[in-house]
Each structure stands twice: as structure tokens, then as C-alpha cells.
């Protein structure tokens, strides 16, 4: 608190007394947070108390003096966002949530890291009220925060009107040495600087200690200079125990509107414990006598655990009324806003709920009805996306520098940039990893439906945030084109092989590989309607015939994951079933026709999404894959491993157990066995093998 000019000496003395009292209260609050965290780790006999012990001061200042949030409504749309990027320090976050009045009890703090508790070993979005993002894998929080700040700017530019700052909040976060070493942080920070995200503010817990070493051994860089190079305002270094310095740095960060800010805060890991500052303080319990020593050293009752002085609770819980008031003021404004701008108000309401407008899918079904020419599914996807965005204004996203190629650009919807935050097209640069995390952060922010786009092979760069999206069950749409060796000449460095199966193995992730433009429409519908998790759309670079749905089964079957596309000779005994996805569906059809000419009766199943198919009823599955038909052949230009899930040990797989090769796509496919002739041959072998039994 800064002194103010007063006239009488008496007033000054009273001020000083009040200040001293405030200082005492501040320290009580901070110590409460620190020792709650420490007690949690000691009780669990597991966890990380070192960072809470050192970083509680900065977190306290931020939460007590700056953070606008409503503990009774953690989902308030215009709250400040808080990201704990060093998720291992979650005991500190849980302590903050408890003392500020979130729906998290002291009992839950005592059950830290126990089965079924709301206080897991790393913060989990959706599990603990007030946790805005799941963190733990380092760097992810930092980059997700950039996504939140992007969503805020995008929505502000779309919704704010004179006198109505509908979206106007900060995204704050704390991060560690480890976070700053991760490449995803570098990518996100570079983009944040380029985009002038002035409302993004990170506090860097610079404690000089990593798990294995001190930072000088492996982290010799000048972090301040690096962030200045990215276009950030760098504040500090400041002493992590000087509350007013922290306050004033945060204020400076708020004042700077053109650049994101990072405040370098020097702290001591495990401060006040006998081995403070040593990297051994990073994790795991410390001997009880050290805990007592730490508590005693600051006048904390050494034998008490989970001790929260009343004065602390009553001070910190002011956040409840303050937050309720702040949100209610905002709600009042929104009511006025909705009156003045009814359309915008309605759109706002809907976007915040994550709902789609009534006419969201208008025009989709007719998109390709008159198309006769083969078309890459990436191109179909581009047309679909550009149709969708006309009605679904929440759609925003972009590509890691291959938007023109993945066909992910929204034509006429502008580029998102510091001169025009309303643009829907985000140019992520060649930063797939940050793209994934930023999209996650946007989804978490709410109000937008984010999508990303790159080549399928480079999904490998994005796996960590894709996994988090699945774990958090948030709506992110990942577009991946160039989906197989069929991409051709770019060669094996660009040809995915194992990626399809690798992503199918991720829980809660829906993977869809459409076989033509009409299935691409249905795939996009699945993605749009899947509000409870991420969807992966896997698209071809090469042109694929558009399946004539008057002859073949409707593409609407896609929503059930797999469906019978073609039955050779209805009524006749089925000799074999061919299952295929994407471009290989056409080969399977070709093979089936050839077999039909030889009086071999084969059913072709299009199986664009395993996850959707596996969720169907037993009856439906039996109708597609009758149990008694053991002669099943899967065809997919990807790893064979896994396809036994449908074809069993009696079937066959035409797939790849090698990397691809550079050459024209059609030749590469042919050379590696993706011809109808080869499928015919394998099918006959499988039928023969099964007859012998």
C-alpha cells in the first residue's frame, strides 16, 4: 500500500499502524498458503511443496490485489484467467481456492493426491472448481494461457461496443524454469509477442533450481533478453518476498497494453525450511523436524497442521462478495447490452454456452450433390468450413503455415493480428505444438470453437496438447491433411503411417477419416456436435472420387462410425467383408466389384471412425460385421497393428508395416500394395483360409 499525503501527524501514525497491521495480515495469509501446501504434501507423503513455499507471496499478491474472479461461479465469462503452468505446485492453487471460498473443502485438501479426491497430483480442469486448465506437462499451461488471451481479444473485438466492455479481462499465469525450457513455451511466447497480447501477464518463478541440477548447468540463457526479443515487456527481477514490488510490477504489466508482460520474480524454493533454496526441496515430503523448523522460523505454530487463522479466512473470503459484486455488475451490463444489441446479445449468450445456432448446418448437405469430379477431402473440408462459418461465428482457427494447402483458411474473414483482432484466421507460424495448446486454451476460455490445421504427420508435434484436450474433454477440432503415403513426393518424412492408430489409442478422442467429400460433410458434423471432447479429421491430399450416394449407402452412416457402403449380391451368402477408411474405401469398392465378377460376394464397410462405431449397439455392430463372417479384410494405408480389433486373427490387413517412400502418390500406393488386385488376392486367401477351418 502506498502512503498518501495527509496533513496531521496523527493521521500518519494511524496510517502506519494500519500498514503494519496489513503487513502482518499479508504475512499470515501467505504463511497460511505455504503451510497448507506443505501440510498437504506431508499428509499425502507425496507432492511438491518447494514451489508453494517460495511462490506463495506472488500468488497471494496476484489473487488478493488483482485477480477478478467469482469463487461462487468459476465459469464467469469475463473473469480474469489464472494459469498455474507449473502444475506440480498445485497444492498452492488448491490452498488459494480453499481460502478464497471456492467449492473446495479443507477436507479435500487433506485428501491431497488420494483416490477420488478433488485435489489430484496435478490440477485437473473439470474436476476441481476454479481450475481453469489441466497442467503438469511443462510448458502446456503457458501456451494454453496464450490461447485464452487470444480468445479474449477475438471476442472483445467482436462483441465490445462503446460503453460495453463485454470481454475485458486479463490472463495471468505463473511459470517455472521448466516451463520456460520447453519449446512449446518458446513458440507460444513468440506468437504472443507478434500478436501484441497486452493483457497476458506471466509471473516467472525464478528460483534457480531444477530437479536434477541448478539452472546454471542447463539453462544459461538470459530469459529477460529472450522475452524482450519476442516483443514482451520484461519486468524485474524483483525479490519474491517484496509484496509491494510484486504489486507494482503487476500494475506496470497492466498499464502496458501493446506487449504481453513477464515479471521475473526471484524466489527461494522451499523458503524458510532448513534446506531452502536447494533443488532437493522440489518434491516429496521433507523430514517432520524440517517442517517444524520452517513453521517455527516464521512464528507459525509448529505442531499445528492445516492451520488457517480466522483473520486469514475472513480476509481472503472477501473474494466471495467482491467476486459476486463484480460478476453482478457485469451481468447488469450484459442485460443492457442485450437490450441495445439484441442480435449480438443472443449470439453472445449462445457462444458462451457453446451452443450452435439453429441453422448451423445450413447448406452442408447440398454442397457436393452436383459435384462429379474427384476432389481431395481437404478441399471438401475447406468448402465445408467456409460454409459453416457463415452461420457459426464462433469458429476461429488457423494453420501452422500450411493453411493454403490444408484448405483451412476462412475466405473473407480476415487475419487475426494486432491491427485487427476480429480476424478469424490465426496464422500460427510453423509452431504446431503451440498451435495445439493455444487452441486448447481458446476452447477453455469459451465463446469460440477453435480448430487447427497442419499435415497429419506433424500431429506428432502436437500430441501433448491433443492429449490434454482429450483429458479435459474440451471441444477442439484438429484438421490434418496429407493423410497417408498417398501424398506422394514429399516422401517418408511427410507420410504418416502410425499416426492413425496412435491417435485412436487416445481415450476420449474421436478420429474420423472420411472417404470422400460427402463423408467429409458428415465428419464435420460429428466434429461440430462433439462438444465434449476433441475431434480429429484426417484428410487426403489427393483427389478422391465422390461416391454416388444414389447407388451406394448414404454418407450419413458415418455418424455411427462404420456402415455398410455396398453389398455385392443381396440375399446371397457373404463370402467376405472388406473394411476400409479414407482413400482406401475406393480401392475396396473396386476390389469388391472385381470379386463380384468372379462370383465372390463381398460387402464393403466404410469405417471412418472406430470410436463412433465401438459406441453403437451390439445389434448395429452385428448388422455391419456379422459375427459369423470371419473372412474380414481391413484396408488402410497405415500401420496394420490394431486392425485385428475388427478382423481378428482369421482376417487379413492390407496396410503398412514400413515407412513410405518419395514418388508420385499413385505409384507409391501401388508399389506398397494398395491396388485392387492386391486386395482381391488377399481377400481370396483369407476366404480360402477360413473355408479350410
| Residues of span 468-497 touching a second copy by CB under 8 A | 468, 470-471, 488-494, 497
23 is catalytic: no
Cα angle value 638/642/648 (rounded, 5°): 120
- Toward a second copy, which CB reaches closer, 354 or 492? 492
Segment 6 to 45, residues that bind a second copy, using CB under 8 A: 44
Rule CB under 8 A: choose which of 21, 75, 221, 331 binds a second copy.
Answer: 221
Q: Does 206 bind a second copy (CB under 8 A)?
A: no
Rule CB under 8 A: choose which of 26, 152, 177, 276 binds a second copy.
Answer: 177
Q: How far apart are CA 401 and CA 406, in angstroms?
A: 10
Rule CB under 8 A: choose which of 504, 513, 586, 621 binds a second copy.
Answer: 504
Q: Contact at 8 Å (CB) between 220 and 177? A: no
Rule CB under 8 A: choose which of 1, 18, 24, 229 binds a second copy.
Answer: 229
Residue labelled with grid coordinates 464397410: 605
Q: Does 399 bind a second copy (CB under 8 A)?
A: yes
Q: Are strands 543-544 and 375-376 parallel, antiparallel or unpaired?
A: antiparallel
The secondary element (H helix, E strand) that includes residue 581 is: none
Q: How far apart are CA 227 and CA 204, in angstroms?
A: 11
Q: Does 47 bind a second copy (CB under 8 A)?
A: yes
Q: Does 623 bind a second copy (CB under 8 A)?
A: no
Q: What are phi and psi of 9, to 5 degrees?
A: -65, -30
Rule CB under 8 A: choose which of 51, 185, 247, 581 binds a second copy.
Answer: 185
In angstroms, give the least distance from the CB of 35 to a second copy: 20
Contact string (CB under 8 A) for a second copy, positions 95-134, x = contact: ------------------xxxxx--xxx-x---------x
Q: Are strands 449-455 and 576-580 parallel, antiparallel or unpaired?
A: unpaired
Q: Total binding residues for a second copy by CB under 8 A?
A: 114
Alpha helix ranges (H) inside 256-389: 288-297, 310-316, 318-340, 342-353, 377-388
Q: How far apart are CA 79 and CA 65, in angstroms?
A: 14
In angstroms, give the least distance from the CB of 232 to a second copy: 10
Rule CB under 8 A: choose which of 3, 217, 372, 373 binds a second copy.
Answer: 217
Annotated catalytic residue: which of 118, 327, 432, 584? 432
Rule CB under 8 A: choose which of 228, 266, 292, 350 binds a second copy.
Answer: 228
Instruction: Return the SS3 of 84.
Output: strand
- Toward a second copy, which CB reaches closer, 193 or 447? 193
Q: Contact at 8 Å (CB) between 384 and 390? A: no
- Toward a second copy, which CB reaches closer, 256 or 650? 650
CA distances from 416 to 322, 453, 506 (A): 34, 15, 31
Q: How far apart are CA 552 and CA 259, in angstroms?
A: 56
Q: Does 136 bind a second copy (CB under 8 A)?
A: yes
The angle that helices 90-99 and 9-44 make with each other, rounded to 10 degrees, is 130
Query: Could you tell me which residues are beta bridge partners of residue 200?
Result: 171
In angstroms, give the least distance from the CB of 430 to a second copy: 4
Segment 304 to 343, residues that bind a second copy, using CB under 8 A: none
C-alpha cell at 172: 495471468
Q: Does 87 bind a second copy (CB under 8 A)?
A: yes
Segment 419 to 448, residues that bind a second copy, using CB under 8 A: 427-434
Q: Does 230 bind a second copy (CB under 8 A)?
A: yes
What residues are annotated to the active site? 432
Amino acid at each position: 500500500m502506498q502512503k498518501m499525503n495527509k496533513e496531521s501527524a496523527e493521521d500518519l501514525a494511524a496510517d502506519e499502524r494500519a500498514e503494519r497491521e496489513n503487513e502482518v495480515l499479508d504475512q499470515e495469509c501467505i504463511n497460511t498458503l505455504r503451510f497448507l501446501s506443505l501440510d498437504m504434501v506431508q499428509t499425502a507423503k507425496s507432492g511438491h511443496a518447494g514451489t508453494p513455499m517460495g511462490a506463495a507471496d506472488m500468488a497471494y499478491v496476484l489473487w488478493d490485489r488483482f485477480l477478478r474472479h467469482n469463487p461462487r461461479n468459476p465459469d464467469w465469462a469475463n473473469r480474469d484467467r489464472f494459469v498455474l503452468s507449473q502444475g506440480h505446485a498445485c497444492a498452492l492453487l488448491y490452498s488459494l481456492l480453499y481460502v478464497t471460498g471456492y467449492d473446495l473443502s479443507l477436507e479435500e485438501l487433506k485428501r491431497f493426491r488420494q483416490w477420488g479426491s478433488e485435489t489430484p497430483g496435478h490440477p485437473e480442469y473439470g474436476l476441481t472448481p476454479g481450475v481453469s486448465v489441466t497442467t503438469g506437462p511443462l510448458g502446456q499451461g503457458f501456451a494454453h494461457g496464450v490461447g485464452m488471451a487470444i480468445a479474449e481479444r477475438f471476442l472483445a473485438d467482436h462483441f465490445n461496443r462503446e460503453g460495453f466492455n463485454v470481454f475485458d479481462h486479463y490472463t495471468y499465469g505463473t511459470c517455472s524454469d521448466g516451463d520456460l525450457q520447453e519449446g512449446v513455451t518458446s513458440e507460444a511466447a513468440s506468437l504472443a509477442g507478434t500478436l501484441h497480447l497486452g493483457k497476458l501477464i506471466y509471473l516467472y518463478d525464478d528460483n534457480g533450481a531444477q530437479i536434477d541440477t541448478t539452472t546454471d548447468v542447463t539453462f544459461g540463457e538470459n530469459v529477460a533478453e529472450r522475452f524482450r526479443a519476442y516483443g514482451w515487456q520484461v519486468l524485474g527481477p524483483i525479490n519474491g518476498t517484496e509484496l509491494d514490488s510484486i504489486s507494482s510490477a503487476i500494475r506496470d504489466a497492466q498499464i502496458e497494453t501493446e506487449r504481453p508482460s513477464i515479471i521475473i520474480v526471484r524466489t527461494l524454493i522451499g523458503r524458510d525450511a532448513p534446506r531452502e533454496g536447494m533443488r532437493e526441496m522440489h518434491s516429496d515430503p521433507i523430514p517432520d523436524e524440517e517442517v517444524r523448523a520452517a513453521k517455527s522460523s516464521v512464528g507459525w505454530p509448529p505442531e499445528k497442521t492445516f492451520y488457517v487463522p480466522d483473520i486469514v479466512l475472513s480476509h481472503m473470503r472477501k473474494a466471495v462478495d467482491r467476486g459476486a459484486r463484480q460478476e453482478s455488475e457485469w451481468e447488469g451490463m450484459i442485460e443492457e447490452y442485450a437490450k441495445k444489441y439484441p442480435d449480438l446479445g443472443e449470439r453472445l449468450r449462445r457462444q458462451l454456452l457453446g451452443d450452435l445456432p439453429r441453422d448451423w448446418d445450413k447448406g452442408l448437405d447440398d454442397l457436393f450433390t452436383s459435384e462429379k469430379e474427384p476432389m481431395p477431402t481437404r478441399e471438401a473440408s475447406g468448402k465445408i468450413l467456409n460454409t459453416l462459418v457463415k452461420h457459426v461465428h464462433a469458429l476461429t482457427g488457423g494453420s501452422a503455415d500450411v493453411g493454403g494447402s490444408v484448405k483451412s483458411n476462412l475466405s473473407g474473414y480476415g487475419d487475426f493480428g494486432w491491427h485487427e483482432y476480429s480476424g478469424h484466421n490465426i496464422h500460427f507460424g510453423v509452431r504446431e505444438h503451440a498451435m495445439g495448446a493455444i487452441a486448447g486454451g481458446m476452447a477453455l476460455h469459451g465463446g469460440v470453437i477453435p480448430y487447427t490445421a497442419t499435415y497429419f504427420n506433424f500431429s506428432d508435434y502436437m500430441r501433448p496438447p491433443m492429449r490434454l484436450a482429450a483429458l479435459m474433454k474440451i471441444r477442439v477440432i484438429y484438421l490434418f491433411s496429407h493423410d497417408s503415403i498417398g501424398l506422394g513426393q514429399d516422401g517418408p518424412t511427410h507420410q504418416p503411417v502410425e499416426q492413425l492408430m496412435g491417435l485412436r489409442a487416445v481415450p476420449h478422442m474421436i478420429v474420423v477419416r472420411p472417404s470422400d467429400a460427402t463423408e467429409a460433410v458428415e465428419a464435420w458434423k460429428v466434429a461440430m456436435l462433439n462438444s465434449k471432447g476433441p475431434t480429429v479429421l484426417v484428410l487426403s491430399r489427393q483427389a478422391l472420387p465422390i461416391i454416388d450416394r444414389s447407388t451406394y449407402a448414404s454418407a450419413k452412416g458415418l455418424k455411427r462410425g462404420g456402415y455398410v457402403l455396398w453389398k455385392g449380391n443381396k440375399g446371397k451368402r457373404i463370402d467376405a467383408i472388406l473394411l476400409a477408411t479414407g482413400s482406401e474405401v475406393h480401392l475396396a469398392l473396386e476390389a469388391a466389384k472385381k470379386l463380384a465378377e468372379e462370383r465372390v460376394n463381398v460387402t464393403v464397410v466404410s469405417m471412418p471412425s472406430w470410436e463412433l462405431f465401438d459406441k453403437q449397439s451390439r445389434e448395429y455392430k452385428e448388422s455391419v460385421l456379422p459375427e459369423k463372417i470371419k473372412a474380414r479384410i481391413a484396408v488402410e494405408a497405415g500401420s496394420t497393428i490394431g486392425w485385428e480389433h475388427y478382423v481378428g486373427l482369421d482376417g487379413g490387413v492390407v496396410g503398412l508395416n514400413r515407412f513410405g517412400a518419395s514418388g508420385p502418390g499413385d505409384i507409391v500406393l501401388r508399389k506398397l500394395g494398395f491396388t485392387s488386385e492386391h486386395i482381391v488376392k488377399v481377400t481370396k486367401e483369407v476366404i480360402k483360409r477360413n473355408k479350410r477351418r
